[in-house]
A and B are shown apart, each in its own frame.
Chain A
Amino acid sequence: MTLATGKVGVICCSGEDLPEGTISRVATRLVLEKLRPDQTVTLCLPLFLAGGEDERAFARVFPTIAVDGCSKKCAEAGTKKFSGKPVATILVSEVMKKYPHLKVKSREKLEPQEMELATKVAEEIARKVDEILCRTAKK
């Protein structure tokens, strides 16, 4: 199987139990819908287990970025275990350290401050997408 050109897979943990999981999810959607709509694709992480070989081939087809809410890094570990090693991982809790004034507590609907953090995470994902595509284009 060969790498698809021009697209990067973004797999987020979605972390239903933690506000950081909602940030990972919203940031991923911001990249897919607004920042890099033509360069990114995604897949539900639990579909690696529930789905078939097509789903499990995801990280072998696309260079992949894992977006994790907490240090358990389920998206990184899950992608590696079921599909293929992600090229990069972005950890929401690490990004939060750069913006200590932005606090997160909502899981259902993000407040403006939380949306600002999700946007910062999305910008980091988008930068990583550009790096990966630039690297693949040079090869």
Chain B
Amino acid sequence: MENRKVVVVPCSGIGKSLGTVGRVATYRVIERMKPEKTRTVCLALLTMGDDDALRLVRKNPCIAVDGCPAQCSKKNIEASKGRLVHSIIVTDVLRKNRNLKPEGVIELNDQGDKLAEIVAKDLSERADEILRKEK
């Protein structure tokens, strides 16, 4: 049977450091923590309705990782009729970690990096849980 992967889709978040937090957290999961169980897709491809991107999010469980309440990732997955199984908004995670002050879009400061690590751990646990349920 073909192995399913959890598709982690961060928002593009070009205007805010919390967008970078979501993006960095996603790379930590797909490249280091759970490379065999997770992958990502370009959100812009989904926005444009690319066939391969649509197939990927419709076939595999998806987690949206959004930097702000506009929730571009979640809304684009839903508009693509993707299998959205979980959604994280980085501002919610920040609210639980008020001691952290993330800054920087090109490169995160140390506190942004710590926040990305917290989001990455959550994503990694979610991915395990989702794939367990899929079996």
Contact = CB atoms under 8 A, between A and B. Distances in A.
Interface of A: 12-18, 21, 25-26, 28-30, 33, 42-51, 72, 74-75, 77-78, 81, 107-109
Interface stretch (B37-45, B81-89, B92-100, B124-132): B37-45
Contacts of A29: 14, 105-106
B60 interface: no
Contacts of A42: 14-15
The 6 closest A-B pairs by CB, nearest first: A14-B12, A74-B44, A108-B27, A46-B72, A50-B75, A50-B72
B42 A48 contact: no
Interface residues of B, number: 34
Contacts of A77: 48
Interface string B20-47: 0001101110010000000011111111
B11 A33 contact: no
B25 to A, nearest CB: 10
Contact of B12 (A16, A33, A51, A107): A16
A44 B41 contact: no
B19 interface: yes
B106 A26 contact: yes
A78 B14 CA distance: 16
Contacts of A14: 12-14, 42-44
8 contacts: A30-B106, A44-B15, A45-B12, A45-B14, A46-B44, A50-B75, A50-B76, A107-B31
Interface of B: 9-15, 19, 23-24, 26-28, 31, 40-48, 50, 70-73, 75-76, 79, 105-107
A51 B70 contact: yes
B10 to A, nearest CB: 6
A120 to B, nearest CB: 15
B50 A72 contact: yes
Contacts of B48: 72, 74, 77-78, 81
Nearest to A45: B44
B76 A46 contact: yes
B9 A16 contact: yes
A28 B45 CA distance: 19
A16 B23 CA distance: 8
Given A16-B10, A50-B71, A44 B45 contact: no
Nearest to B71: A50
